[in-house]
Structure 1
Amino acid sequence: MKAIRRITVRPVLPAPLAPLNDLARNLRWSWHEETRELFRSLDPERWDAAHRDPVRLLGTVTAERFAALAADPAFLDRLAACAEDLREYTGGDRWYQTRTGSGGPAAVAYFSPEFGITAALPQYSGGLGILAGDHLKAASDLGVPLVGVGLLYRHGYFRQTLSRDGWQQEQYPVLDPDELPLTVLSEPGGTPAHLALALPGGRSLRARIWVAQVGRVPLLLLDSDLEENDSGAREVTDRLYGGGSEHRLLQEMLLGIGGVRAVRAYCRLTGHPAPEVFHTNEGHAGFLGVERIHEHVGRGLDFDAAVEAVRAGTVFTTHTPVPAGIDRFDRDLVARHFGPDAELPALDADQVLRLGRETYPGGDPTLFNMAVMGLRLGQRANGVSLLHGRVSREMFAGLWPGFDAEEVPITSVTNGVHAPTWVAPEVLRLSARQLGARRVEEALSTGDDSRWDALAEIPDPDLWGLRRNLRERLVGEVRERLYRSWRQRGAAAAELGWIDSVLDPDVLTIGFARRVPSYKRLTLMLRDRERLTRLLLHPERPVQVVVAGKAHPADDGGKRLVQELVRFTDDPRVRHRIVFLPDYGMGMAQKLYPGCDVWLNNPLRPLEACGTSGMKAALNGCLNLSVRDGWWDEWYEPDFGWAVPTADGDATDPERRDDLEARALYDLLERRITPRFYERGPDGLPDRWVAMVRQTLTRLGPKVLAARMVREYVERLYVPATTAHRALTADAARELAGWKARVRAAWPRVAVDHVEASGAGAPPELGAVLPLRVRVRLGELAPGDVEVQAVAGRVDPDDRIVDAVAVPLKPAGGADLEGCWVYEGQLDLARTGPFGYTVRILPAHPLLGSAAELGLVAAPVTGTATGAGVLLR
């Protein structure tokens, strides 16, 4: 019989074991080895059966075992040590509390549609969620006062299995919040705290707030599966990235609007400081800005002033390098969910639409673009690698007309990964022997790269022995998972004896694991199957490959790629050398990254925003073999691995491009990678390979840390956003909004009238100065409203200025009879060769985030300049 209702009965622990509850409910155990080992010692078999989840484990341990542990002095000492360590970790000062300088935010609210904290809380699908989880963990380690905000999906993301013919199949297990490391946020009387959104037609969407404690950081997860909701509203938080347009819109309204209300409730009920900065991790949470505008309107600001107040304290991070990766909704669908008959009645639906409509050349004004809204409501924005920042500036340049792409106000903070989560315990133990356990913890948790040099002193035999042990552990893990997969595919145990010889701990092992959109090119390695087969079966220098990845349930193209690869791995000739493991997730990844010698990444450049899997592999001494995209474009050096040559460019046929890049990949493997791995020095070790492992750990390791990333967010984005937020009082917001309206209205009459360069008749010499005199028309504006600049630099063959430097010019007296102003200044001629300059007028205000913020610029027209270009000799 099937139960009509499921409940979870929690264990009652003996008093001496009470701290186990606190340790289990704080997800720091997911990256703290001593706490995990403590739970494992309760019952190793049950620990494995509970998938290494302390909450599940505590529900399965017998009362007799608890009684025995409560009387075991050695166990109680370990328990007390772990509990005290957690108290010190959550209560003491960290980097943020001791950093020099001031002006940091009292709190930051960090919104993301998914969070990958641990496999025990499956609320992630891929890199975006894992990055968000690592962001929270690193913030906790550093003491940054973050509050995470997301949704609690009752089915999470799907579990992946394979049919007998290799077709991906999806299952969505139901998650019971009472079985997860969560607590419900409650009012003082014990009633669960609820929030509600108004829906069209008089309906409502109610949600409760669950709290996951991630070290020092609370993560708020909103859950709409409540009996008070109708069936449609209950299903809003059913699964990650599921449903049609309206379903996704409701998810994103709940995440953004409901998320702000959840933060307000959490701060009210716990005394947590109110956030001064709101960080939107991708556009899915963009409606948080609309809710905050609504709050300001309720306090007496008009819409435009409220927008300014919100923008000042908002950070927006974009993760996609292609427009197709952005959520876009029909304008009418969005309009139906706002206004007097739905949510945020104080705002007109047209005002909300104005924030996200694609009203720029090449855009579609009938669509509401979540990333566009994120950029319009975030005074500070960033991509997630240097290359991705450049791609983003080009992709969104239409929002800032008149400015070159390099001046678009989108910066870059390159992603990082949380080392304590992703570094294998064996690597940590070897590092601790060399540095000491405390120094290792400080190096990983703070991003202090000065402590990594000592790893260079690890003896070669120890380093190579570590790599061999990790490879051997991976071989065992692969065989277990492969056996389970084949049984799920319908194979009998009697036909699976071959699995015992799958992979070899002494063979060069390549890993490839990620989501399976087409641009990541899962099957590029199959481009020349015979050549790949020769690599796999080489008699002296064989290669073995471990592959994993999920295609989106609605992506049949991605599923066909998975099936194509699986069918190749099923071939009896090669199945002992190449495997596909279904159901890629955090648990698998934590075994896969350390056990591989080479991490492969071959996306279509530049479509990989960052791609952090190779970072996790590198922290375990795995070398990268990758197209120079995302973070690898930025930090590649021959000491760390290999760069796959690319044939990117519009002129290259896609099929030919894949052929060329696959050929380059095979060449690297045959001629450079496998010879180096199998080459032995006088001591019988692959000396040159071990040297690359050492360089990867000591020089690349500190760069790829999430601690480095979060410190950059604090210093470069959170602190400036806090300063701007504090400056934008209600009166300042009104003044700034009024000033912008006045400037926009007056701008059509702003112009550069004439530019004169004194002494430009003869070619100048290096070190000379070029005096400029510029006549400008400001219309109704005054000099205090603008900045007049000379922009100078090298010029290319098309006379475009590159490596430009802007030099402010100063007014020389008042307006003349025609209402024109004269500005003067000089250019220092500090480089030889072709050199050019121009002059422009920009709006200027002390509260602007950047000169390009309004997208307004006035530049000379042809014939307004005298001596406008020079060639230095």
Structure 2
Amino acid sequence: MCRACDLRTLGQVRAIRRFTVRTLLPVELGDLDELAHNLRWSWHAPTRDLFAEIDRDLFTQVGRDPVALLGALAPERLAALAGDEAFVQRVRETVEDLHHYLSAPRWYQQQSDDARGSLPTSIAYFSPEFGITSVLPQYSGGLGILAGDHLKSASDLGVPIVGVGLLYGAGYFKQSLTRDGWQVETYPVLDPDGLPLTLVREEDGTPAVVTVDLPGGRVLHAHVWSAAVGRVPLLMLDSNVPENDDAARRVTDRLYGGGGEYRLQQELLLGVGGVRALRLWSRLTGAPEPEVFHMNEGHAGFLGVERIRELVTEKGLGFDEALEAVRAATVFTTHTPVPAGIDRFEAKLVAQYFGGDRAVEGLPVERVLALGAEDHEGGDPLLFNMALMGLRLGGRANGVSLLHGAVSRGMFSGLWPGFDDAEVPISSITNGVHAPTWVDRRLVDVAARALSADEIATGNGWLREDGVSDRDLWELRRTLRAQLVEDARSRLRASWKQRGASPAELGWVDDVLSPDVLTIGFARRVPTYKRLTLMLRDPERLRSLLLDPDKPVQLVIAGKSHPADDQGKRLIQQLVRFTDEADVRHRIVFLPNYDIAMAKTLYPGCDVWLNNPLRPLEACGTSGMKAALNGGLNLSILDGWWDEWFDGENGWAIPTADGVEDPDRRDDLEASALYDLIENQVAARFYDRDDSGLPVHWLSMVRHTLATLGPKVQATRMVADYVQHLYVPAAAGGRSLNGSADFDGARELAAWKSKVRTGWAQVRVDHVESGGVGEVAKVGDTLHVKAYISLGELSPQDVEVQVVHGKVSEADELGSFTVAALEPSETFEAGRHAFSGDVRLDASGPFGYTVRVVPKHKGLSSIADVGLVANAAS
């Protein structure tokens, strides 16, 4: 064999340059390119049908990727399609439908005249990852999927959002397994030219470039790619460009691919570079500058530092003035109740990027470091905390479920000493999911044939006896289960081949799972607190459930562990080894490489969705929502969204062993409760059939779930809540401080806060008097409260004196309480004032009150905004 042939055989000849040659479409089919490059097709079935009609087998082979499909078509097929008048007409109608979707007024534009005046003209939504479609693998898990659903739902509602993220050269890793069940990661390189993306270019056609200065005189350059997510543009920064040195080119090579300085540079590019990309986008397209900036987790926190720099260097504001202007129009969403899930960097490393030769006049490095300082009790003064920076830069902050909001207020209460946890300014908006993406088309079609659009939207139609019959609903559920079984067998066979098995060893795969067996799904990331292996606490008990001759159960499981998390990988290996055992492998499977494509079959095909985190460490957990939208019931620890919306008829709550300190003992107790529920309630109800073979009680729970949870778990509800409760107030706050050319509002608020902080040491509650209640207080009595307050150099207009009252414990602690303002009534010498007011006693039982002083200004977003309070001495 010749040397050249030998080299080719061994794969030694490598290209020095790589690019994608795009298909030149016939004029008649030119609109297909627009349809392929607007990601609305990922949730719009008629557009997908159009592409499937071109070549169904090829469409499946290319992963249902319209861009890849067009690139793979032979010229002869394109010519034939161009000559097919019926097909050309379908293309025209489909693109006209897209144009109508993009331009017609939607919910946001249909608000009342008064409401429209308060709506922001543009909102920037920053996230380190976006899960739009498996074709664009720029996501790792729940955070990215949520961000993708946020953009899609904003598009459906007409909310003027622009997304900002990074374009990762390899995305997140692809997961496979070794023969002994160990997770293996691979990072296929993505070609942006082959993705549904468009390179943003200057007017002269050259690629638009964003730059971020690095220490040592280095510069990080990034191109900007745009993805059309329906009506929403998504801007993604790519550092793999010729202008960069090798290290800089690797900044965006992998999603969550490293830590330390690598991760810091990614987050600098996302935050600082993202703001600059927005300015560039507005300049090139005429799009309005964002009025509101939304940080989806702390990864994008440096966007606030960049906006402060803009105001300091370009508008002449001082740091404090710029900070107020930025905070007023910034929203921060925290997603983790686990401190280990927060990015923290060495403060001295962060200082290298904002001090020394990188210092900017008016932007002192010590002020930047203070934004992320862990200066609260229990913090590490040597670390810079991205979540704390997000909270300090976000005038409005929220958790992602009611329970997570409460957990977050406790977790971050150290930033607001003196205030009760309930008053920590972190609200909550419960996550939602984008129904058109996640609801199986078969369910959509069944509902459309039997129910009106209003009945589907409200959920009421599922409760109508003459709507979808029990027989039709049960047949649909079996069809979805069978679809999952077929997909799972295909994936399992491919996985075993990767693990080294020969075809001769895999005949058993044809009998894996059954479309007639109760199917429970579990798919998560695999940190320890999500407890992937809780189901294995008693392997023999699990085996008996799987192999029960009358009421068998089957489990379909998926999940990825972070590449650096060996403990998580060991959990996967432990589970896989159990699924490999010959006596149970037909009833329990682990499917590697959990992603959007797998999820679209997994959620609809499961009868029950299992979630068993260590309470209260699940912020929300939206996978169970997706299952519910498809008629699945939830079996979950009361955590995240399930704690909020479980009602006893939409699934089951796994009892928790709260208060048990031994983690092994707690896991044993909760696993035992899980087994009992599956055996005695879940399986018993699934296999309880009437004379016609239908599980009537089970189907009533499915109907109840579709009717009651369906409307609640929608991401359109979530985005509308963000608009009403966070975006509109943030826009109003931004306008009030930034509305004048000289930023008078920001300057005045910063000066006032400085005055209050300087003078607060003199503020105290000197004395409190009360009256109006006899020896025995009765419901309906009025308590008169008069408080004598020292304000020093501050005036009564600078503060609010409050009486805090409610039921008290035996230790005189106020639990749930009410706050009422006292009014100024007298002024004395030396800065002393009297405030008085009345409190009506509306409830019986032990009652108590106290008095406190807090700063007051129309520009504050909450009473805890300044972090100052003077409480009466007990």
* TM-score, normalised with respect to structure 2: 0.96
State the distance in 2 between where 1:428 and 1:777 align: 66
Q: How does 1:39-54 map to 2 (within 5 A)?
A: 39-54=51-66
Per-residue CA distance 1:614-649 (angstroms, 9 max, x = gap):
000000000000000000000001110000000133
Per-residue CA distance 1:821-860 (angstroms, 9 max, x = gap):
1111011000000011101101000000001111111111
Correspondence 1:153 to 2:168: yes
Q: Is the 8 A contact 1:569 1:579 kept in 2?
A: yes
* Contiguous gaps of at least 5 residues in structure 2: 1-12
Q: Is the 8 A contact 1:434 1:455 kept in 2?
A: no
State the distance in 1 between where 2:511 and 2:829 align: 92
Matched to 2:48, the amino acid is: R
Q: How does 1:369-388 map to 2 (within 5 A)?
A: 369-388=385-404
State the distance in 2 between where 1:847 and 1:808 align: 18
State the distance in 2 between where 1:346 and 1:845 align: 26
Q: Of residues 774, 777, 781 in structure 1, which corresponds to 2:794?
A: 781
How far does residue 452 in structure 1 lie from its aligned partner after superposition?
6.9
State the distance in 2 between where 1:521 and 1:774 align: 53
1:96–1:344 Cα change, 3 Å: farther
State the distance in 2 between where 1:760 and 1:435 align: 60
How far does residue 344 in structure 1 lie from its aligned partner after superposition?
4.8
Q: Of residues 811, 818, 828 in structure 2, which corresponds to 1:805?
A: 818
Query: What residue in structure 2 maps to residue 430 of structure 1?
Result: 446
Give 3-state SS (helix, strand or coil) of 1:833's partner.
coil
Query: What residue in structure 1 maps to residue 10 of structure 2?
Result: none
Matched to 1:98, the amino acid is: Q
State the distance in 1 between where 2:15 and 2:203 align: 33
1:13–1:818 Cα change, 3 Å: closer
How far does residue 324 in structure 1 lie from its aligned partner after superposition?
1.0
Q: How does 1:372-771 map to 2 (within 5 A)?
A: 372-436=388-452, 443=457, 457-649=467-659, 651-729=660-738, 730-760=743-773, 762-771=775-784
How far does residue 359 in structure 1 lie from its aligned partner after superposition?
1.1
State the distance in 2 between where 1:679 and 1:71 align: 57
Correspondence 1:4 to 2:4: no
State the distance in 2 between where 1:692 and 1:195 align: 53
Matched to 1:203, the amino acid is: R
Q: Is the 8 A contact 1:647 1:661 kept in 2?
A: yes
How far does residue 343 in structure 1 lie from its aligned partner after superposition?
6.6
Q: Is the 8 A contact 1:456 1:694 kept in 2?
A: no
State the distance in 1 between where 2:572 and 2:541 align: 20
Q: Is the 8 A contact 1:435 1:455 kept in 2?
A: no
State the distance in 2 between where 1:195 and 1:453 align: 54
Correspondence 1:851 to 2:863: yes
State the distance in 2 between where 1:749 and 1:409 align: 25
1:270–1:636 Cα change, 3 Å: same
Query: What residue in structure 1 maps to residue 365 of structure 2?
Result: 349
How far does residue 69 in structure 1 lie from its aligned partner after superposition?
1.1
Matched to 2:292, the amino acid is: V
Matched to 1:682, the amino acid is: D
Give 3-state SS (helix, strand or coil) of 1:59's partner.
helix
Give 3-state SS (helix, strand or coil) of 2:72's partner.
coil
How far does residue 456 in structure 1 lie from its aligned partner after superposition?
8.1
Give 3-state SS (helix, strand or coil) of 1:206's partner.
strand
Correspondence 1:828 to 2:843: no
Matched to 2:439, the amino acid is: V
- Runs of 4+ that moved beyond 2 A: 1-4, 342-346, 448-457
Query: What residue in structure 1 maps to residue 5 of structure 2?
Result: none
Give 3-state SS (helix, strand or coil) of 2:109's partner.
helix
Q: Of residues 172, 185, 188 in structure 1, which corresponds to 2:203?
A: 188
Give 3-state SS (helix, strand or coil) of 1:798's partner.
coil
State the distance in 2 between where 1:715 and 1:133 align: 20
State the distance in 2 between where 1:244 and 1:827 align: 55
State the distance in 2 between where 1:701 and 1:861 align: 50
Between Structure 1 and Structure 2, how many residues are aligned? 854
Give 3-state SS (helix, strand or coil) of 1:809's partner.
strand
How far does residue 342 in structure 1 lie from its aligned partner after superposition?
2.2
Q: Quick one: percent identity of the two aligned structures?
A: 62
State the distance in 2 between where 1:817 and 1:120 align: 72
State the distance in 2 between where 1:755 and 1:346 align: 45
Query: What residue in structure 1 maps to residue 7 of structure 2?
Result: none
Higher deviation after alignment, 274-283 or 456-465: 456-465
Query: What residue in structure 2 maps to residue 176 of structure 1?
Result: 191
Higher deviation after alignment, 61-70 or 632-641: 61-70
Correspondence 1:819 to 2:831: yes
Q: Of residues 298, 308, 313 in structure 1, which corresponds to 2:324?
A: 308
Matched to 2:656, the amino acid is: T
Give 3-state SS (helix, strand or coil) of 1:382's partner.
strand
Query: What residue in structure 2 maps to residue 71 of structure 1?
Result: 83
Q: Of residues 299, 304, 307 in structure 2, which corresponds to 1:292?
A: 307
State the distance in 2 between where 1:205 and 1:346 align: 23
How far does residue 450 in structure 1 lie from its aligned partner after superposition?
7.0
* TM-score, normalised with respect to structure 1: 0.97
State the distance in 2 between where 1:450 and 1:396 align: 40
How far does residue 759 in structure 1 lie from its aligned partner after superposition?
3.7
Matched to 1:467, the amino acid is: R
Q: Is the 8 A contact 2:335 2:619 kept in 1?
A: yes
Q: Is the 8 A contact 1:455 1:697 kept in 2?
A: no
State the distance in 2 between where 1:543 and 1:193 align: 56
Per-residue CA distance 1:331-382 (angstroms, 9 max, x = gap):
1000001135127555221111011101111111211110000000101000
Q: Is the 8 A contact 2:462 2:704 kept in 1?
A: no
Matched to 1:786, the amino acid is: V
Q: Is the 8 A contact 1:156 1:240 kept in 2?
A: yes
State the distance in 2 between where 1:620 and 1:390 align: 29
Matched to 1:239, the amino acid is: R
State the distance in 1 between where 2:555 and 2:361 align: 57
